Amino acid sequence: MKRIIPDEFVQSVYEIDFNELQRRGVKGAIVDLDNTLVESTRPDATPKLVSWLDQLQGLGFKVMIVSNNKRTRVSKFAQPLRVPYIHRAKKPLSPAFKRAMRKMEIQPEQTVVIGDQLFTDVLGGNTLGLHTILVVPVSQSEGTFTKVNRLAERVVFRWMKQKGLLGWEEQK
């Protein structure tokens, strides 16, 4: 069960304290796309997200989008932002996470994984010993596979709540 418990819970990517992460030696962020950065139906970044990415890069962070979605979806979103990406990542499997770290030229202890799903983003990051941050999904609109994952997540969130491990129970 420990592999699906994130190191941090936040309401959105905008609440992450990157100054603190930087003090702890983090240099790069592997970030999920759909329902982490924007709604799965939004084709491009919001002005607020563009500003957030600029701030991160201004702090010296390397950022890579790692998504299980198709190339078309991920590339159309990431390319205008000039953010590197990996599509069809097959999270939670490790290869895409390892490839992202190699491309960013960072080590596991220098990496944070940010996403909205326990069984893809958090499990994948924790398997490699990466710092994981779970965000509240930005939308309720999701694909069939994600809906199935959400049902399993509800069971885990109930267990986490009973153990006092849930940092945002009002959302679940």
In the prediction, which pLDDT does 152 show? 65
Q: What is the pLDDT of residues 29-59, one digit of tens each?
A: 999 999 999 998 999 999 999 999 999 999 9
In the prediction, which pLDDT does 3 show? 84
Alpha carbon separation from 56 to 50, 90, 125 (Å, rounded): 10, 26, 20
Topology of domain 2-139 in CATH is: Rossmann fold (3.40.50)
The more confidently predicted of residues 168 and 111 is 111
In the prediction, which pLDDT does 172 show? 38
CB 36 within 8 A of CB 116: yes
Residue 146 pLDDT class (50, 70, 90 cuts): low
Cα 100 from Cα 156, distance rounded (Å): 28
> Does residue 85 have a pLDDT over 90?
yes
Q: Which of 163, 170, 149, 141 is nearest to 2 (CA)?
A: 163
Q: Determine what percent of the chain falls in helix, strand and coil, rounding each to the nearest 5.
A: 45, 15, 40
